[in-house]
Chains A and B, each alone.
Chain A
């Protein structure tokens, strides 16, 4: 275990803050100094506001000194994916379209974390508008994987994963539409949790595909993820898809839930395309659970192969609609070359969006266009039902499903230039979004080349407490997450 504050788990730092062994200012300074030392190489941040972070840390210390500390998040620096609104701070979606946009309000998750006393720290890079699996689609910079700077950190929340792995934050927030939290968590060797659709408010999250998007945390440990989820979950009247459900004490539940569990292994997730080292690491995790008395059952998710196709119809259709708002009128990039108002729309969007965003808007517009809706969008929604039923059928026999998170460890920058090859990276994570389920990636080993490997556990709807307990049990028996990249 490292002595540096910036590599310590959130819960350990919370205890140090509580017993006044460290101050939040000291901790925040440690994170800022680390960021200045390594971010020229990792390139995880779009921007950060050092003075603002230190002012928040100072406030936290004053609260604690007055005996008014607000719990385990008070004084903890948390980084934000640059699609989550923080009042008065830039909000760019890593797009030229929003390069100069400053958010006039807070997202609900931002409000919640502020109320919990967290230090809002830094805006983290992503694939433009969260569209991609490598963070190479950012209009500003490609983020590097801290374990091998020539490789991608995954995406789209690549900055959130890489900054945490590099010690540039204590926890971060990302968003997950088809794997955008879990896949970069796996590739960077940290924990990443995508909550059940509706558990966390999307108010103030820049919309990509509204029926799939969820905000979730990146952390060093599963216990940290439980603390962060407790900080952001809950019904929100400002998000009409937000679900009314009781929020348990996720951290407290970890200690109460001991298993043994029935774990399903979907045979469709262990076929062609799975890297042998990833397969072996996941097999070791299965063996670990079996030795702990868990029942391991083969299950079938027969519509798995259709997931990528369904996703790239539904997600692009929704994105073509959501991104119609970027027209150069009320905010965002406005072309200076336009002849009239219609030309202004065409040129502002042509200049403001990058290639992947344009491709997805074109595809989404096509599948929704007159004469094609039934063949594409409606059919995809029906196959989505079948994919969801596959999971619900499996849950009659098992408590959770265990799979690899990503078919391979981190790939080289520039390696996947063909969009379809990039889309197929998400084959194991997409089904979870289509079915609205919670999923978590936890570190489960390293490749012979020293790259992290992630284990995905998929839970039942709104059963995050159980899912976290299952992941926690694995983590207790391993120390993968305690290793840090040399930078």
Chain B
């Protein structure tokens, strides 16, 4: 089974910010085509008037106490940074 015509893998990979090789694109398009084919059966379900469920037990108006409490120390917050200097994370130049 091939991918549905509307699964544009280049477009979706671009939205997801993942560089895929041509081999990955071909393979994922085929495999996800099969998964989407399976998912197609949801179209048979009558969902007229059915409310969507985002959480099984939704809780509302969850507020935190408005009090300061200690957070991570700078060193702890930066300990996993790929590159850092002067207590800041180093990234490639954003503005030319």
Q: A residues bordering B, Cβ < 8 Å? A: 100-102, 104-105, 196-198, 211, 237, 240-244, 303, 305-306, 308-310, 312-313, 320, 324, 327-334, 338, 340-342, 344-347, 349-350, 353, 355, 358-359, 361-363, 365-366, 369, 372, 376, 378-386, 388, 418-420, 423, 434-437, 461
Contact check, B53 vs A362: say whether CB atoms are below 8 A apart: no
Cα distance A378–B50 when bound, in Å?
Answer: 11
Chain A residues with CB under 8 A of B93:
340-341
Total CB contacts across the A-B interface at under 8 A:
170
Give the Cβ gap from A181 to chain B, nearest Cβ, in Å: 17
Contact check, A388 vs B53: say whether CB atoms are below 8 A apart: yes
Contact of A435 among B54, B56, B77, B82 (CB under 8 A): B56
Known: A306-B41, A330-B80, A344-B91. 18 other contacts (CB 8 A): A104-B72, A242-B59, A243-B57, A243-B59, A329-B89, A332-B82, A341-B92, A349-B17, A350-B18, A355-B24, A366-B32, A379-B42, A379-B43, A379-B47, A381-B53, A382-B47, A383-B50, A385-B53
Considering only CB atoms, which chain B residue lies closest to A387 in the complex? B53
Contact check, B80 vs A331: say whether CB atoms are below 8 A apart: yes
Contact check, B35 vs A346: say whether CB atoms are below 8 A apart: no
Contact of B39 among A196, A309, A388 (CB under 8 A): A309
Give the Cβ gap from A425 to chain B, nearest Cβ, in Å: 14
Question: Chain B contact residues (Cβ within 8 angstroms of A): what range?
Answer: 35 or more
Q: Digit string of B40-69 for contact with A (CB within 8 Å is 1, else 0)?
A: 011101010011111111010010110000
Chain B residues with CB under 8 A of A309:
38-39, 41-42
Contact check, B12 vs A369: say whether CB atoms are below 8 A apart: yes
Chain B residues with CB under 8 A of A378:
52
Contact of A308 among B17, B34, B38 (CB under 8 A): B38
Contact check, B51 vs A382: say whether CB atoms are below 8 A apart: yes
Cα distance A419–B31 when bound, in Å?
Answer: 7
A-B contact pairs, 29 of them (CB 8 A): A104-B77, A196-B57, A241-B57, A241-B59, A243-B59, A244-B59, A303-B45, A310-B42, A329-B91, A330-B81, A345-B17, A349-B16, A350-B20, A358-B18, A361-B16, A361-B18, A362-B9, A363-B35, A366-B7, A381-B53, A382-B52, A383-B47, A384-B52, A386-B50, A434-B53, A435-B56, A436-B56, A436-B57, A461-B56
B5 within 8 A of A: no
Contact check, A312 vs B50: say whether CB atoms are below 8 A apart: no
Give the Cβ gap from A110 to chain B, nearest Cβ, in Å: 16
Contact check, A461 vs B57: say whether CB atoms are below 8 A apart: yes
Chain A residues with CB under 8 A of B72:
104-105
Cα distance A434–B53 when bound, in Å?
Answer: 9
Chain B residues with CB under 8 A of A242:
59
Contact check, A376 vs B16: say whether CB atoms are below 8 A apart: no
B26 within 8 A of A: no
Give the Cβ gap from B64 to chain A, nearest Cβ, in Å: 6
Contact check, A211 vs B54: say whether CB atoms are below 8 A apart: yes
